[in-house]
Amino acid sequence: MKHFSILLVLVSGFFLVAACPARAADEDRRPNIVLIMADDLGFSDLGCYGGEIDTPNLDGLAKSGLRFTQFYNTARCWPTRAALLTGYYAQQVRRDSIQGVKPTIKPAIKRGSRPTWAPLLSELLKPMGYRSYHVGKWHIDGMPLKNAFNHSYYMKDQGRFFSPKVHYKDDVKLPPVKRGTGFYNTVALGQHAEKYLKEHAAKHKGKPFFLYLAFSAPHFPLHALPEDIAKYKQRYRQGWDAVRAARWKKIQRMQLVGGELSPVEREVGPPYAFPDAIKQLGPGEVNRPLPWDSLTDEQQQFQAMKMAIHAAMIDRLDQEVGRVLEQLRAMNAMDNTIVLFLSDNGASAEIMVRSDGHDPKAPMGSAASYLCLGPGWSNVCNTPFRRHKTWV
């Protein structure tokens, strides 16, 4: 079967596609490539990796494809994205550093700027006849169209799911989105991906395509649609200790990971301290993964609701993945499309307040709120592993 659905794909294997020149006789056999990336998704958040969140579309890909269980990323946004799209270690292309080691790349270049010998995958695919489309987060130097993408909807504002102030279409800045207009980041990204695929089918049928769809979800702030939150409102009242244990049992039944469940490091909190944010978020916030039964009723309700919103964000992400898959089916492209899905890093223990701030009187998960998952639930999302995003 020509269709490969790969979860947590091995990057070096992915780049073999770009390294093999197409012969004229194989013109119509060049596979399409759809690369989908989530942001701050935990290892066990998807149903196919042991989670209780409803992710039927991604679970379906896993069932008919291949799940990777020994895949490594850089534990942070920008190094992972640079490594993924260039094929080089992030340190080689100035997107990360090694403590105590001085960079030796010559000629000297500005930190964060890729050297000319590190083109993105879109540039490598162009001479092979591919058209490339980017949708979502970027976090790489330069702009998409200047890096050989044919179309791009670039969501730069990561702090406002309902009313982004900074976003671009084909490298041209768009007006800010007003709050209350019905806009939601994850849905907008799915719609743009669908639009580019439809346009490709109509105008460039027969040409292979590369779609890079980089969702912002479920990165903080915890912003989700009310109908999605309602679905999970009661699901996490049992607490993070019970949910983590349940995920581990499911992982063992699925025979995904061997060994033992790592202990919860109760004294390990957010990687960066923002004491003012903790005060602003109120008495329900907890910056350590304390035993669930040691929390007050107020803390338990607050924390359970945060995880419900995180789950809602992932549920909606899966729905938008379904939109893309349905469009591929409508194009009769599934049998010649490599579908790849991964997260840029594990779930985050960070707790902070940015962008428009946090209104404690606003409904949790709404545009006026600014909540982060925190270490209690991050431990759950990263089951069975220890620690969180930023720890390598």
Q: How far apart are the C-alpha atoms of 3 and 304, rounded to whole Å?
A: 39
Which of 77, 134, 200, 372 is an active site residue? 77
Of the candidates 100, 170, 79, the one whose C-alpha atom is nearest the C-alpha of residue 389 is 79
Q: Assess whether 134 carries a catalytic annotation.
A: no
Burial class of residue 313 (count of CB atoms within 10 Å of its CB; 0-12, 13-18, 19+): buried
Asked if the bond preceding 103 is cis, omega within 30° of 0, the reply is: no
Q: Assess whether 381 carries a catalytic annotation.
A: no
Instruction: Kindly write down the DSSP assignment for every residue of 200-216, as one continuous string.
Output: HHHH-TTS-EEEEEE--
Q: How many CB atoms lie within 10 A of CB 140?
A: 21
Q: Distance between alpha carbon 265 and the CA centroid of its chain, in Å? A: 25
Supply the Cα-derived Rg of the chain in whole angstroms.
Answer: 21
**385 CB contacts (<8 Å, ≥6 apart)?**
43, 262, 346
For 25, the 3-state DSSP assignment is helix
Which of 139, 151, 192, 223 is an active site residue? 139
Q: Active-site residue numbers?
A: 77, 139
